[in-house]
Structure 1
Amino acid sequence: MTCRWKLLILALSFFLIMVLSISAGCPLGFSAKKKECIDINECNDDVKPCGQHTNCTNTIGSYYCQCKDGFKRRTGEVNFTTGACDDINECNDDMKPCGQNTNCTNTNGSYYCQCKDGFKRRTGEVIFKTGACEDIKECLEIKAKCGSNAKCVNTIPYYSCTCDDGFISTTGNKSFHHDQNATCEDINECQKGNPCGQNGLCNNTQGSYDCICNAGFTNYGNKTARCTESNCDVFKALNGLEEKLPIVKQLNKSCQELTGDKSQNPSDRTNQTEEDLLTRLQSEIDQLLSSKFLKDRRRVSIFLDLVENVLRLIGAMTKMPGRNTTSTHTELKMLVHHGPVISKRNTTLSTKHAQLDIQMEMAAGEPAYYPGFTTVSLMSYSNLEDSTDTFFDGIKPQKYQSFKINSKVVTVTVSNRNTSHLKTPVNLTLDHLIQKNQTHICVFWDSSVNGGSWSDRGCDVVKSNPEYTVCSCNHLSSFAVLMALYEMENKFELQLITWVGLSISLIFLFISILTFSMIRSIKSTRTTIHLHLCISLFIANLVFLAGISQTANKAGCAVVAGILHFCYLAAFCWMCLEGIQLFRMVVLVFNTTFKTLHMMAVGYGVPAVIVTISVLANSGGYGTKRYCWLNLEIIWSFFGPVCVIIIINIFFFLITVWKLAQKFSSLNPDLDNLHKIKAFTITAVAQLCVLGIMWIFGCFQFEESTVAMSYLFTIFGSLQGVMLFIMHCLFSKQVREEYESILARFCVPQKKSYKEFNYSSKAQASKSSQDTGESHF
């Protein structure tokens, strides 16, 4: 059809409409009634111009359609005149009108929400439009939800059930879920082998079982633990230790109670807790360590073995997790684990001076012998090292090496009784008492070596520095760290110097003794002091040569050490008297003589008192393995008084020199006497230096690499007699003149007149110097 025809038809249609409208008299959407145009309601029920699920809305001269709630047009139109609407699916993933833990259900034109299984609304609604649901706490809302002998465990959603210890579910598992129709029933442990061991009878009970131990065996009050042997004899005869530790009898009773000893009188039962026993034990150990009872090695062995047995017994009675207690002389850390399953974790116990790293599995022992509990104890003693510092028989020292304990002694105890050779070593860190860069050795107390001794068997040093040492040991006992000390090497050169020097000194000391005792012209207070100084050194040197190395006889060696101790102290006391005498001559300016009795009391009485006290305090300190001299424990009974005497003499000499300087500067000094006192002072100071320097060098003989000090000590010590002869005899003009006179009588014949003149002049000189004891340089 051509365009011309289309236009013609459109024009004709418009013409017809206009004609009809004009003929009716009303516009479109209206109808004529009584010559009026009335609006036509297209939305009445007869017409229904809109489709399904729509709402029709009439307008003046027309109408429009809209979808009902819950419906929409596919085209997305909101207002339209024809067509139907489709349902909206509110439950699709984009809209999510319902909250958490809900299920959404779509309906024709709407939806509704419901809670999922295991959840509920707080308001109790079952069907709702909006909001979330919360978990139902079945275990709280319904008692015995899982039935008897079970525990209810809430989950999200639902819940699960776990059977009590000693029970198992009918499904064969320890636990079951809400949808499993199961219950818990008793396990008959006695049918699965004998959990009580060969030394006990198993009796099944509801949810558990009891072990009835045979005589001599115990499960330490834990009815479900394996029966193990309990030897109560360790708490009986203990070589006198039970008198020092009365708790031993109490422990014996406790042990018998645990073993079920039926012969024991019920009235004798202790009924004491492990806390009471532990407190009493530490109190009695404090008293024991405060005494000297443990100086004997066998007593030390019995004591340490007893502590191990006691800690093992008390640990078995202690509840989890254990105890930490401290007393005056002990510190205890105890860890306890109870349960049918052996703990396999690593653990660390620490005291003030020690730290133990150990595996709980090793502490428990073999599973076949596991008693149902595991205990680990670390006890540290504050002063036990003093009682055990001489027992080193179990260690082979290197050449010229000795030992000294340089840590606190600690005892490690576990419930496992088989600790003689551990598969996994334990690590023990011990702090040093003396922080020095020395060689350190890890040791343990071995009761099998000579009744008790420190031994390094099975222990290695993992790490060591001046502050601490880490030890690794494949067995358990009581442990400590030793510091290696090095004595002066017994070289041939030093021996030769000593023998030659002391022999020469003995000769010159003997000459000096004859000089001061037989030449009357030089006798004075000062020469008396020199005489006894030489006598003390003469006896000391003679005894040193004869007995310093005679260590085979311990009693004789101790006597030699005591004589040397006395004589060397006497020499310093006489030297102190000389300093006091010079002080009196210069400062006090009155009668400068001492009474002989008073000098003897100071020169020999003071050393005798010091030696007596030292012997009474520690008689074992006289004599070492190599020499008959004082050991390190009592060496300060010599060096202490020597240091005091040196300080006193220095004080008196300084005042003497100061007063001499004042007198020399005065207007009318007595130069003759002042020069004499000056000479005396210089000689005394030189004497102090000779004796003092020698023992200063002697202080360095206890460490390695002190060869130079060894030679200086040997040289000065062996030639003391020669030096004293030179200072007090050869440097004295008066003594030299007496020597010349004596030699002249035997060697050179002289005229009588010359002899008489010489004799008279010397007699006058002697008389003039009688009061001051003149000695010229």
Structure 2
Amino acid sequence: MDTHVSLFVCLCLLAAQSIPAETTSELLTLMKHLERPRGRTMPSRVKHIHRLEQMLLNTSFCGHNLTLQTDAIQSLVFELGCSFPGLSLSSATLPNVPQAWAPHGMQFPAELTKEACVASQPARLRLICVYFFTAQLFQDDSNSSLLNNYVLGAKLDNRTVNNLQNPVNISFWHNRSLEGYTVTCVFWKEGASQHSWGAWSPEGCYTEQPSPSQVLCRCNHLTYFAVLMQLSGDPVPAELLVPLEYISLVGCSISVVATLLTILLYAHSRKQSDSVTCIHMNLHGSVLLLNVTFLLSSQMALPTVPRSVCTVLAATLHYALLSCLTWMAIEGFNLYLLLGRVYNVYIHRYLLKLCVLGWGFPALLVLLLLVIKSSVYGPHVISFSKSQENGTSFQNVSMCWVRSPVVHRVLVMGYGGLTSLFNLLVLAWALRILCRLRAPDKALSSWAYRDTVMVLGLTVLLGTTWALAFFSFGVFLLPQIFLFTIFNSLYGFFLFLWFCSQRRHSATEAKAEMEAISSSQTTH
């Protein structure tokens, strides 16, 4: 185990005696400027932060420790040697810490100075810690919520410290339970955003919750750290991660093959002018695009992949989902026309208008989002909880997807909910029509029966399976996750089976019709 030294702190009054008064004044003035970032340009904020770091690294002072403190920023400086035993910092051991500040702490392993000492044997190493008790300087494009609005940073000289075997431990406490929130340890990745001077990333950090009000971040590098907070439903056990990934991978792969085969069979079919079949094939095309982009989304969210690639893939995945949902609604609308108008309707350039709606409308929505705020797309973190003896930890999975909670609620859940509701209403209405057609005093023609079964089958698959997304709470959570994953990952395969059954039914009808004609000719 590492031996940690306790922290001895000199606050502003003592610091003024250990360094020149003008240096102290300049440092405190700079920190106060950073406390009030409003009205300052982004380059100016970045410049002031970097200037503060360099001044802390280069300032001469008496003793081994130095602390400077303002209303919302605290700067700590330590002189380290190559025999560094480790360092444990805690707000509980610091004198004169304002009561309004929530408890926090950092723990540095002895390994921290190992690489620097092996490389050059420096006379001294300086470790600086800069704590921001305001999140205004670290606003990303999504305006993410941070636990306590705290950002705790550390830097060792001008060196890059990463890939530590023993992690840096950063502890955050809250004054109430964090149940009902998804918490994720992140670090500030400078230059990772086009509209801000950085973005929050979970790379290299592991999230644990030793208690309901504490978050422990274990990170293998030095930089600025924080905890993202997001309202969540019931936590999903981490033990389900592997089976869910396996089901998704196998199901989507089968659906891709089945959908390709369906499209190829349709391409070689002679009856390509049938509008109903054309609508089905457009749905197959959107399902194919959805499955392919979904399979690629987790692979493109890796740190080695350029952020722009993940952004494009996330936008494509969102477009594929919206297009698929739109074609589901078009199937319901087409069912209404088939049964409600009894084939007696003509719409000028019907298929062209449906294609503009099915492919063009989702494209318009996604393009508008990209133009207004492209940062809504990119790496999205999904947390799985894991119970341990000392608390609950979280395992994070990244994929290229919608990063904005508002966009996700409106253009994913809202759009999907309206589609499912519409198709379920059409399904109920169609079942009523079918029951009337099956009345004893009315004959059920073969073509009406065929198309009713066809669209009812589609509507059941669409409406029922996507409606499962709205049962992710309480006792329904775990069954819903598995049923939703199975049904929707294999959706393309189900469509393939239905397509084959329809072809077989059509072939049987054609054969029966030919036999009837042949029998009639023989009789005459």
Alignment TM-score, normalising by the size of structure 2:
0.54
Q: 1:501 to 1:681 in 2, by over 3 A?
A: closer
CA distance in 2, matches of 1:669, 1:571: 35
Q: Counterpart of 1:229 in 2: which secondary structure?
A: helix
Alignment of 1:409 onto 2:149: yes
| Structure 1 counterpart of 2:345, one-letter code | N
CA distance in 2, matches of 1:313, 1:534: 60
| 2:491 pairs with one of 701, 720, 725 | 720
Q: Quote the residue 2:21 is aligned against.
A: 217
Q: Quote the residue 2:336 is aligned against.
A: 583
Alignment of 1:613 onto 2:368: yes
CA distance in 2, matches of 1:462, 1:667: 68
Shift of 1:586: 3.0
534-543 or 481-490, which moves further after superposition? 481-490
CA distance in 1, matches of 2:187, 2:299: 31
CA distance in 2, matches of 1:651, 1:198: 72
Shift of 1:313: 8.6
Is the Cα–Cα contact under 8 Å of residues 463 and 470 in structure 1 kept in the other structure? Answer: yes
| Structure 1 counterpart of 2:337, one-letter code | R
Is the Cα–Cα contact under 8 Å of residues 272 and 278 in structure 2 kept in the other structure? Answer: no
Alignment of 1:506 onto 2:506: no
Alignment of 1:643 onto 2:414: no
Q: 1:570 to 1:347 in 2, by over 3 A?
A: closer
Q: Quote the residue 1:534 is aligned against.
A: 284
CA distance in 2, matches of 1:295, 1:728: 58
Q: Quote the residue 2:270 is aligned against.
A: 520
Q: Counterpart of 1:629 in 2: which secondary structure?
A: strand
Shift of 1:298: 4.8
Shift of 1:571: 1.6
**1:455-503 CA deviation, whole Å, 9 max, x = no partner?**
9xxxx999954xx5599xxxxx999655598796797766665554444
* Structure 2 gap segments, 5+ residues each: 1-12, 54-66, 74-94, 105-130, 153-170, 191-196, 217-222, 382-396, 519-524
Shift of 1:570: 1.5
Q: Quote the residue 2:453 is aligned against.
A: 679
Is the Cα–Cα contact under 8 Å of residues 384 and 408 in structure 1 kept in the other structure? Answer: no
Shift of 1:579: 0.4
CA distance in 1, matches of 2:224, 2:266: 60
Q: 1:348 to 1:635 in 2, by over 3 A?
A: same
Q: 1:671 to 1:613 in 2, by over 3 A?
A: same
Shift of 1:231: 0.7
Q: 1:561 to 1:688 in 2, by over 3 A?
A: same
Q: Quote the residue 2:25 is aligned against.
A: 230
**1:42-72 CA deviation, whole Å, 9 max, x = no partner?**
xxxxxxxxxxxxxxxxxxxxxxxxxxxxxxx
Q: 1:609 to 1:445 in 2, by over 3 A?
A: closer
Q: 1:411 to 1:679 in 2, by over 3 A?
A: closer
CA distance in 2, matches of 1:300, 1:384: 11
Q: 1:347 to 1:599 in 2, by over 3 A?
A: closer
Larger Rg: 1
CA distance in 1, matches of 2:468, 2:146: 29
| Structure 2 counterpart of 1:647, one-letter code | L
Q: Counterpart of 2:401 in 1: which secondary structure?
A: coil
CA distance in 2, matches of 1:542, 1:431: 43
Aligned length: 390
Q: 1:622 to 1:480 in 2, by over 3 A?
A: closer
Q: 1:494 to 1:347 in 2, by over 3 A?
A: closer
Alignment of 1:312 onto 2:70: yes
Q: Quote the residue 1:64 is aligned against.
A: none
Q: Quote the residue 1:35 is aligned against.
A: none
* 1:436-455 equivalence runs, <5 A: 436=180
Q: Quote the residue 1:570 is aligned against.
A: 323
| 1:656 pairs with one of 430, 448, 451 | 430
Is the Cα–Cα contact under 8 Å of residues 329 and 419 in structure 2 kept in the other structure? Answer: yes
Q: Quote the residue 1:692 is aligned against.
A: 466
* 1:18-57 equivalence runs, <5 A: none
Shift of 1:560: 3.0
Shift of 1:527: 1.1
CA distance in 1, matches of 2:262, 2:400: 27
**1:652-695 CA deviation, whole Å, 9 max, x = no partner?**
33333345556666976765565345323421222214652676
* 1:695-774 equivalence runs, <5 A: 712-731=483-502, 733-737=504-508, 757=514
Q: 1:623 to 1:516 in 2, by over 3 A?
A: same
Q: Counterpart of 1:231 in 2: which secondary structure?
A: helix
Q: 1:492 to 1:660 in 2, by over 3 A?
A: closer
CA distance in 2, matches of 1:733, 1:576: 26
Q: Counterpart of 1:623 in 2: which secondary structure?
A: strand
644-653 or 570-579, which moves further after superposition? 644-653
Q: 1:452 to 1:657 in 2, by over 3 A?
A: closer
* Structure 1 gap segments, 5+ residues each: 1-195, 201-213, 219-227, 237-246, 252-277, 316-343, 358-376, 391-403, 413-425, 472-476, 742-753, 762-777
| Higher fraction of helix | 2
CA distance in 2, matches of 1:493, 1:669: 49
710-719 or 596-605, which moves further after superposition? 710-719
Is the Cα–Cα contact under 8 Å of residues 529 and 578 in structure 1 kept in the other structure? Answer: yes
Shift of 1:720: 1.9
Q: 1:610 to 1:451 in 2, by over 3 A?
A: closer
| 1:602 pairs with one of 343, 357, 373 | 357
Alignment TM-score, normalising by the size of structure 1:
0.39
Shift of 1:596: 1.8
Q: Percent identity?
A: 20
* 1:51-70 equivalence runs, <5 A: none
CA distance in 1, matches of 2:408, 2:507: 40
CA distance in 1, matches of 2:246, 2:224: 45
Q: Counterpart of 1:630 in 2: which secondary structure?
A: strand
CA distance in 2, matches of 1:583, 1:562: 32
Q: Counterpart of 2:299 in 1: which secondary structure?
A: coil
Q: 1:678 to 1:487 in 2, by over 3 A?
A: same
| Structure 2 counterpart of 1:231, one-letter code | E
Is the Cα–Cα contact under 8 Å of residues 421 and 463 in structure 2 kept in the other structure? Answer: no
Alignment of 1:557 onto 2:313: no
Higher relative contact order, chain-length normalized (CA < 8 Å, sep 6+): 2
| Structure 1 counterpart of 2:147, one-letter code | S
Q: 1:454 to 1:497 in 2, by over 3 A?
A: closer
Shift of 1:612: 1.7
